[in-house]
Chains A and B, each alone.
Chain A
Amino acid sequence: MEMQFHIEGGDFSGAGTASSEVKKVLKQLNISPMIIRRIAVALYEAEVNVVAHAFSGEMTVNIESDKIQICIVDEGPGIEDIEQAMQEGFSTASDKVREMGFGAGMGLPNIKRNTDEMKLSSIPGKGTTIEIIVKF
């Protein structure tokens, strides 16, 4: 099953709608609530990242019998130093993002913690791609 979502940069009230849709579908598929929670949290963090940092993003979700594979490609400033971005506490978030309760430099490490595989690549000035896999 494949699902696609458009994420608008800066749309703070809409942040989480795509993750919510995916969570709804996973519940219908009778996946364990613990696994669903991990996927929902990772997806939501990734979605918030696009809203917070990029101009726009496309999320592609592939649900197979034994795993879920998610790819989010955004157009935005990209990440200069991925290793630094992965460090807990490092953040370039704006005040607006912090007012939402995010931007503490915990998102990317939390995505890594909740997924079985995570690949992050970026071209500064163009955008960032994150691919994650969670096994059921």
Chain B
Amino acid sequence: MRFVHTADWQLGMTRRVLGARPPKEAAGGLTGEAQARFAQARLDAVSALGRLADERGAAFVLVCGDVFESNLVGPDVVARACEALAAFRTPVLLLPGNHDPADAACVLRRPDFARRCPPHVTVLDTPGVHEVAPGVEVVAAPWRSKHPLTDLVGEQLTALEPAPPGTLRVLAGHGELDVLDPDDDEPARIRRDGVLAALADGRVHYVALGDRHSTWVDAADDRIRHAGTPEVTDFDEVDPGNVLVVDLDVHAARVTTEPVGRWRFVRHDARLDTDDDLEALDAWLAAQPDKERAAVRLALVGTLSLRQRGRLDDLLAAHEHAFAAVEVLAQHSDLATVPDDADLDDLDLHGFAADAATELFAAARGAPGETPDEARDALRLLHRLVGTPR
């Protein structure tokens, strides 16, 4: 029996790094244009995995939670998701996760979803065993509220009898395993021991999980898997952008990981002290492929002169336009701009202007009782104004 295991489509998600406004209003920052392309990419990934399922002859596509980013996504998001699902020929099972729990506001029960939902799509909003095909059962552990107080998967597993002979059982759950986040007090963490036990005594044959956006397999039993998100959502994800094609029998699962996502969220740490460092950063940025589908987050450390700082600003501004986003992470960057004597000489000032510049330099170097950042900014401005032709 073959099926496609996926999760965390997060339809309706926006990323702040991708900007908010049309270009003219964004004051030189990132624009909302990337945001729209990103939203489309998420839908494209869904369509891609649908085609994959059709091609591979999967029995069904199991989406383990977080189909939507929120229960409160707009009707446009719902409509486009339904359009994408309608193109599937394979049946689809949608499990409510922590982002779209089966509470009173559940998007999967909303009239606009119900009206457009294609017939081959089933919402697993009631917990328990669902027979999805002859001899194939899916045990659903849907989220019914945003903050469940128990291990929902464990609850389902405890209530189960061993599967009848000839019946394959797949558990569909959403949430982190306790081994992945052992120090957490979260009561809804999935107890791995219970899962392993259920697999061992044949109550279930595969535990399909969602919530973790990176593709992951349990070290002890490779039938416990997180499919990860089919399209990247954040910089800290290890291996996103995949779906799992699972060939399952009573004894084992053969899983192939299929990439469907096309975007990349890249974090880059760089030390900047010399002009060589700047050139290296420039080169690294230039070397990135598919820049229009890449968001870069830079964590910069080091000390630059006024001139070098200006060069860095120019460099970043130049690359910014090619990438979907280039972000310098303020809280992880420790980049000091310290003017040196060469900067002062560059200015080539005389008279009172030279005196003023000297005073600002002293302040920028951190003289006591000063605000070096402001002084540095003032010096950069002075640099620019002196460079301006008369």
Do A and B truly interact?
no
Taking Cβ atoms with an 8 Å cutoff, the residues of B that contact A are none
